[in-house]
Structure 1
């Protein structure tokens, strides 16, 4: 068994070395674009390490589309994320074997089979925890984006009724707002104004990039109601009410879930307390 695991490790190492020494050829369009691209500053040592660790993973199609959306909403670099993920997995994989090797040098005589499997389990757990942490942070940011969007939709219809245009009303509402979500929406609107693209297209791109469906729905509403001020105002008002009701229902569901999670420790504590009360009586009945 040790020989099979050792052979698998050596084979994986040889495959990674071959991929590193003879990388795949880039597409022709990418090669031509690199010729005319402005030279960038030399990468730092940390960046080169991250790229080296992430290169084998990118060839397998990582990160996935859902992970890319989570990275976009968290404003994290995919290469840096893959590099840190690979480094963490390698350290978790090698930590048990290295510990056993040191103990064997001291005369313990422990077989390497268990540490290898333990390292594989630790690496899987490390990857799962990293992915879960990223997903949790991304969901928190999406919730913040939805709350910010609901607040903006409460401000925009009165501005439209006062005679402002859709673009001006949206820009003014984002200027008086603060936070990450308002900044991203403001940047998308400013980019649309600079590039002279429709507002709904910029908001739709932002929604697809970050995974916030409500932005895509707002973009579809603006596209369908474009050109009619009264219709746009009514559509935005309806969209804001629907989003606010959904957020209220979501917050209520979160509160109920938190209450249920809080009741579990109380039930365990009550069970232990009852056990302590009952135990003296049961012990006294024994001969």
Structure 2
């Protein structure tokens, strides 16, 4: 019975894939043109920004995984699902959206097949484990395993984004000092970004270099980098520097004030996290005290109960 069900499932999947391959989809010319424009703008932005990631975005990703991820991305964007947040997190980590989607699907498929294969093996060993129960368990594990790559990427991106904001605060001070020394905006940006070899400063420096090679203004490139990695401080810096270049505004004091407010906000966040950890330690100490008191009271309580 189990082999019949498995054979029917395989045949059903084959018929479904054949129907998908043979089905002809009508293409709306306006939608296709809008999709082409979106692809061009995204390709330009990724060429301008992701070339400065410091790591290869294609590392560990085969061509088949990228092709599968590209089809999934097209399908998700076709139904109107917004992937902007996870795209920013992956860009900050130096990974592609296509590779992430393919990894998510493979993890979910592995989670689904684990109990199903186990049930099939146990059925041959005459151990009672129903196939419907394994399928339900497989769906649950597929959901859990499919969420693991996204949750891991968001956690890692949050840490890197916090480090990036710290670097942006120092970068603002350096740009303000170079502007006060009489340098122009491009020279101030290049000089400020060349004083450190940290991964965030290297990404800023490579973004500025790529912008110069592509004929893009450096403040526009910084704004696109801020949009790509989800760092609002870079977008604010780009807007302020655009005022300097276009209107001749004096924003040296404004940049220093922005850097100071950014550092104060980081200090407040650190103090808040320290307070939360102190509360957690206090709760743990209270739990230990309660356990110790129960350990002391338990023998006397047992003795009283035995005498009664």
Range of TM-score over shorter length? 0.7 to 0.9
C-alpha spacing 1:231/1:48, structure 2 compared with 1 (3 Å): closer
Task: Please say if residues 63 and 82 of structure 1, whose CA atoms lie closer than 8 Å, have aligned partners that are also in contact.
Answer: no
User: Which 10-residue stretch deviates more, 257-266 or 246-255?
Assistant: 257-266
SS, match of residue 60 in structure 1: helix
- CA offset at residue 127 of structure 1? 1.9
Distance 2:297 2:161 in 1: 50
> Deviations along 1:242-269, whole A, 9 cap, x unmatched?
2111111122222223333344433333
1:254 to 241, 264, 273: 273
2-side partners of 1:6 and 1:271: how far apart? 58
8 Å Cα contact 1:63/1:78 also seen in 2: no
Aligned residues: 276
1:60 match: 76
Which whole-Å CA distance do the structure 2 matches of 1:171 and 1:244 have between them? 22
Name which of 113, 116, 129 aligns with 1:110. 129
1:2-42 residue CA offsets vs partner (Å, 9 max, x unmatched): 99999899766644454356686884796xx9xxxxxxxxx
In structure 1, runs of 5+ residues without a counterpart are 34-42
TM-score (norm 2): 0.78
* Superposed displacement of residue 235, structure 1: 1.8
Alignment correspondent of 1:38: none
Shift of 1:212: 0.8
Give the whole-Å Cα distance in 1 for the aligned partners of 2:60 and 2:23.
Answer: 22
Moved runs in structure 1, 4+ residues, more than 4 A?
2-14, 20-30, 43-46, 227-230
TM score, norm. by length of structure 1: 0.83
Whether 1:50 aligns to 2:65 is yes
Over the aligned positions, Cα root-mean-square deviation in angstroms equals: 3.4
**Mapping of residues 263-278 of structure 1, within 5 Å:** 263-278=282-297
Is the contact made by 1:189 and 1:199 (CA closer than 8 Å) also made in structure 2? Answer: yes
Matches of 1:136 and 1:93, distance apart in 2 = 25
Judged with a 3 Å threshold, the aligned counterparts in structure 2 of structure 1 residues 270 and 14 are, in CA distance, closer, same or farther, namely: farther
1:224 aligns with 2:243: yes
Once residues 148 and 245 of structure 1 are traced to their aligned partners in structure 2, the CA distance between those partners, rounded to angstroms, is 14
Bigger mean CA deviation after superposition, 58-67 or 99-108: 58-67
